[in-house]
Amino acid sequence: MQITAIATQKGGAGKTTTAHNLAAAIFLITGVKPLVIDLDPQGNLTTSCGYKKEDLSKTILEFFDGEPLERVAVRDDRFDLIPSNGFTADLEIKLVTTTARETVLKRLLKKLEGRYEHVLLDCPGNLGLITINALVAADRVLVPVQCEFHALGGIADLERTIEELKEAFNLTYDSFEAVATFFSQRLTLSRDVRNELRRRFTSRLYDTPIRTRVALAEAPSYGEDIFEYGTTEGAEDARNDYRTVAKEFLKRGAANGIS
């Protein structure tokens, strides 16, 4: 079982979009359903999958309280989801007073060992205790970096946090993998930022960037991933990008010997 935290404290960088579409692509490529956990109290991933807040009786709150997966997960066609729904804002506060508060998620996911090949964690856009739980539980960290001015802002904080957690909790992963998002070939700024990311992250940067395509923003309003949504050229581009990123993700995971 390979646990990947999709994290960056930068808001709107594409964490949720990547968690959703990477999960769908992994299923389409491997035929095996991943588990996706919506760790963001805003519940954007959950609503992107078509669930309404009031549909959900159980969420990550109950999962963190130790309720079994069967009772909290909802089943999507391509992945299982532990949802979040706005009432989950309490989780961050509850964690503060929990014993061994940084390792709660790690301990819970240990119990799921062998049930999934991939677990994807969609983190909130801050470096609070929920994100820390994800970084400590993870075998890999995938950071979406938006191709815009100040793309690298905040990356140093994330790197420092990861280094501190690695030392404190004996984590074995190498720093993180980065995928460029909101890429636009026709924009000089976008190409420049991508080159800067290549210099900064070298082989840690995925070869394929995710291009800016409006279909990626539209699909969630229909509760669909990009593989279910739209017949436009833009939707096809977005499918190609996420399919290629997913192949690279699986290849890197296999190369790291994580299973």
Ligand X SMILES: Nc1ncnc2c1ncn2[C@@H]1O[C@H](COP(=O)(O)OP(=O)(O)OP(=O)(O)O)[C@@H](O)[C@H]1O
- Which of Mg ion, ligand X, none does residue 66 bind to, with CB < 5 to 8 Å depending on kind? none
Q: Which is nearer to ligand X, 117 or 148 (CB)?
A: 148
One residue of 5, 15, 60, 180 binding ligand X per CB under 6 A = 15
Q: What is the distance between the alpha carbons of residues 32 and 206, in angstroms, rounded to a whole number?
A: 23
Q: Cα angle at 134 between 222 and 27, to 5 degrees? A: 45
14 is an interface residue for ligand X by CB under 6 A: yes
Among 4, 17, 88, 208, binds ligand X (CB under 6 A): 17
Residue placing its CB nearer to ligand X in the complex, 12 or 68: 12
Q: What type of residue is 127? A: L
- Structure tokens belonging to residue 176: 């993180």
Residues that bind Mg ion (CB under 5 A): 15-16, 44
**Cα gap 22→34, rounded to integer Å:** 10
Residues ≥6 apart with Cβ < 8 Å to 88 = 41, 43, 59, 60, 61
168 forms part of the interface with ligand X (CB under 6 A): no
- Binding part of the chain for ligand X, among 172-180, 190-198, 212-220, 243-251 by CB under 6 A, reads 212-220
Q: Choose one: 6-14, 49-57, 102-110, 195-203; the region binding ligand X (CB under 6 A).
A: 6-14
* Interaction of residue 153 with ligand X, rule CB under 6 A: no
What HEC string does 203-216 produce? HHECCCCCECCHHH
> Nearest CA to 51 among 89, 24, 80?
80
Residues that bind ligand X (CB under 6 A): 11-17, 40, 44, 125, 181-182, 210, 212-214, 216-217, 220
